[in-house]
Structure 1
Amino acid sequence: MPFLSARSALIKNGWRPDALIQRQPVGTAVELLNMGITEVERCTQGVQYCQFHYRKNQECLGITTIGEEAEDLVIDAWNFSCP
């Protein structure tokens, strides 16, 4: 599923971005932060993986995406553990 579509659905269903402090954003993380997507924890370089965190009440949701541009990110994995 495309990340930006999933993000819209999550927010519409009560999940809130859980912004974590990122020390030195690089690559796609800079683009995402400039778009106001503050829940990005980090993005790797090379093979692009990005991690995002959300909260709904006491529940946590972590999402990992793959892709090189914000518009191209697709969800690769998710979990319900809190960082």
Structure 2
Amino acid sequence: MGILSWIIFGLIAGILAKVIMPGADPGGFIVTIIIGIVGAVVGGFIGSLLGFGGVDGFNIGSFLIAIFGGIVVLFIYRKVRA
């Protein structure tokens, strides 16, 4: 269930990351959602390494980890593309 949770949370995290960090992103809405999916995977990986747990189910902790990962990846994406 892990990877499926990451993808679902990633879709939502990408949208919320865009709301939290508004700005003109190359690629538009679809790229932002893809960044959210990647961010959820990254957030799950970082959360697991730090002992917070990963994105392992539909709960608030996993959701927050996915949003955090989405914001991190969106920030990095903007710095690389600028």
Normalising by structure 1, we get a TM-score of: 0.28
| Structure showing the higher strand proportion among its residues | 1
| Structure showing the higher helix proportion among its residues | 2
